[in-house]
Structure 1
């Protein structure tokens, strides 16, 4: 989730023959493999940029082979991604890749695989102009990201919850189940989280979740690494990685685009989106609940994924502080940023 850095291309070179053979078979319905690069920087799937013999480039994405390190909601994520791309196929405003081939048989590979079209542009995090700046390219990218979110949220789902997972008839029930799963995951891996405070916050504010009247399609992970832009103009030209999408409250995407922030998007994002309530007591409480959920995900995943590097502890500290800021707001306290366990 939220790759810790930028996708980098690494030539396959002397990769095992089985990798080349698998990629060759996966793209065979589309064309003949000529070259491939491993794209690093993500923390979930393994992704390759494949060049075909006719010069066309495609992207091949494979799910993790082992499932022991997956959070409960992370099973079958590539199937969810393919489903969202399918919904986007007739909606060009969503700027998502086209699904070219899927292999969910788990016979060619021991995991799911997805082949999609290659997008133009570069990830926003690579473009040389960051979010939340006064650069005109930033303003354009933020405004157009807001417009993409509005188009995405216009798609209604059959129920609340994960497209390929548990679904409920109400958003309150669905969101409550999501939190229960995360707290179970935390207990399974002995990750210290303030479970009692989380449950109390959810119980206190559960009623505001009933203000969500329909299950909208929510990307949940539209940070700058999943937005492709033209580095010269700032135009948004592509949206990727909707594998963590759910049917629920559109406000959750304003947390997903800035996981460590405290405000619901920027003025440019909200301008591009159009009319959206982010200031009512109900909206503010729901935004904090979604920050709470996302922080739990980001805290818990560190342990089963065995993240390492100098970035891990500062990242854990920032996520912990953001979680406690959300809980403090939900409990009406002023001890924002309290340490874990308080």
Structure 2
């Protein structure tokens, strides 16, 4: 699904992929897809010419955050929910192997999507950017018609579920703070917990539980490069049952500015409505900006990120965390005192989180 120059696969990996894919076809070619910093993904071609994508979960589970346990099973679950919904633009599950008998992790095989990853298109003209944002908003609204029974992450291994959204969200944030403590990531944990308590009533006004992708950044969106039309969505491994407004921060993980009008119009055009502009809705948006900033800061340590971009990435995420806390501490819905970072079409020098 991602077109980057791959390195050749070793014989052992090719043999393992051949064995895994045998129930659906004979492997004739495979190559790794680079750019991910979580799962390992391969594009494989079968003897009948069909191309498929093989995804394996990380084997070093001791380096996973709590909410990342069994994520490949969540991805398969969501694709299954979308199987009879072509309007959700997701791959079809062709095979899932949870035995870990061939490869040392869960394996998911899905259909290959057409289109180009939005992150690979570079700068878009204003008209195409509006098309992309409008179609993304409409997709969000369609996805949010899928409803669940409980709030939180569907993967039972994480244990981050509850009957109410305030309880589920508090558990999700609490797990991140526990992970931070375990990995010795310095965070204003007491301030985060105080903000959660103070704004529990705003969380209680959230609708749901609906299916939220939580990671709709441009690397997970496939578009028609000629028109900007959205043609595919991948990597649902971090999906959860929650407040639809949470989707906004997953789509723009480093932005603090206004949500693009074209995205909101697309959401409304597909029958959705978000609570932006209300005291409770604005409080929740800042809470979710706090949450995504926590994720970005905490995950860097167990991932072992390296490179020139790391210091700036961490500084930006920490600045956004404090900006969200300031907004929640002072006056809800106003621009944070540290200044807004506009909604961005793509993260700057940020890792692909697939």
TM bracket, shorter-chain basis = over 0.9
CA drift at 1:212: 1.8
Aligned residues: 328
| Counterpart residue number, 1:169 | 163
2:44 is paired with a residue whose SS is: strand
Q: Does 1:9 align with 2:4?
A: yes
CA drift at 1:59: 0.4
| Counterpart residue number, 2:52 | 58
Q: Pick which of 262-271 and 45-54 moved more.
A: 262-271
| Counterpart residue number, 2:326 | 328
Residue correspondence of structure 1 range 235-254 to structure 2 within 5 A: 235-254=229-248
Distance, in Å, in 1 between the alignment partners of 2:228 and 2:122 is: 10
**Alpha-carbon deviations, 1:126-175, whole Å to 9, x = none?**
12334xxx522211111111111001101101200111133110000000
CA drift at 1:7: 4.3
The answer (yes or no) to whether the contact 1:62–1:112 under 8 Å persists in 2 is yes
The answer (yes or no) to whether the contact 2:180–2:187 under 8 Å persists in 1 is yes
| Counterpart residue number, 1:201 | 195
CA drift at 1:8: 4.6
1:157 is paired with a residue whose SS is: coil
The answer (yes or no) to whether the contact 1:142–1:269 under 8 Å persists in 2 is yes
Among 102, 118, 132, the alignment partner of 2:112 is 118
1:263 is paired with a residue whose SS is: coil
The answer (yes or no) to whether the contact 1:9–1:37 under 8 Å persists in 2 is no
**Alpha-carbon deviations, 1:167-206, whole Å to 9, x = none?**
1100000000001100000000000111011011111101
Distance, in Å, in 1 between the alignment partners of 2:3 and 2:40 is: 12
CA drift at 1:213: 3.4
Distance, in Å, in 1 between the alignment partners of 2:24 and 2:236 is: 23
| Counterpart residue number, 1:271 | 265
CA drift at 1:281: 0.7
Q: Does 1:137 align with 2:137?
A: no
Distance, in Å, in 1 between the alignment partners of 2:210 and 2:36 is: 26
Distance, in Å, in 2 between the alignment partners of 1:224 and 1:51 is: 25
Distance, in Å, in 1 between the alignment partners of 2:6 and 2:303 is: 24
Q: Does 1:147 align with 2:154?
A: no
Q: Pick which of 162-171 and 147-156 moved more.
A: 162-171
| Counterpart residue number, 1:3 | none
Distance, in Å, in 2 between the alignment partners of 1:232 and 1:127 is: 10
1:316 is paired with a residue whose SS is: helix
CA drift at 1:264: 5.2
Distance, in Å, in 1 between the alignment partners of 2:276 and 2:24 is: 45
The answer (yes or no) to whether the contact 1:10–1:37 under 8 Å persists in 2 is no
Residue correspondence of structure 1 range 290-329 to structure 2 within 5 A: 290-329=288-327
The answer (yes or no) to whether the contact 1:129–1:135 under 8 Å persists in 2 is no
CA drift at 1:22: 1.2
Distance, in Å, in 1 between the alignment partners of 2:246 and 2:320 is: 15
The answer (yes or no) to whether the contact 2:286–2:324 under 8 Å persists in 1 is yes
Distance, in Å, in 1 between the alignment partners of 2:82 and 2:236 is: 11
Normalised by the length of structure 2, the TM-score is 0.90
Distance, in Å, in 2 between the alignment partners of 1:57 and 1:194 is: 47
> Structure 1: which 5+ runs fail to align?
1-5, 338-342
Distance, in Å, in 1 between the alignment partners of 2:3 and 2:85 is: 29
2:99 is paired with a residue whose SS is: coil
CA drift at 1:290: 0.7
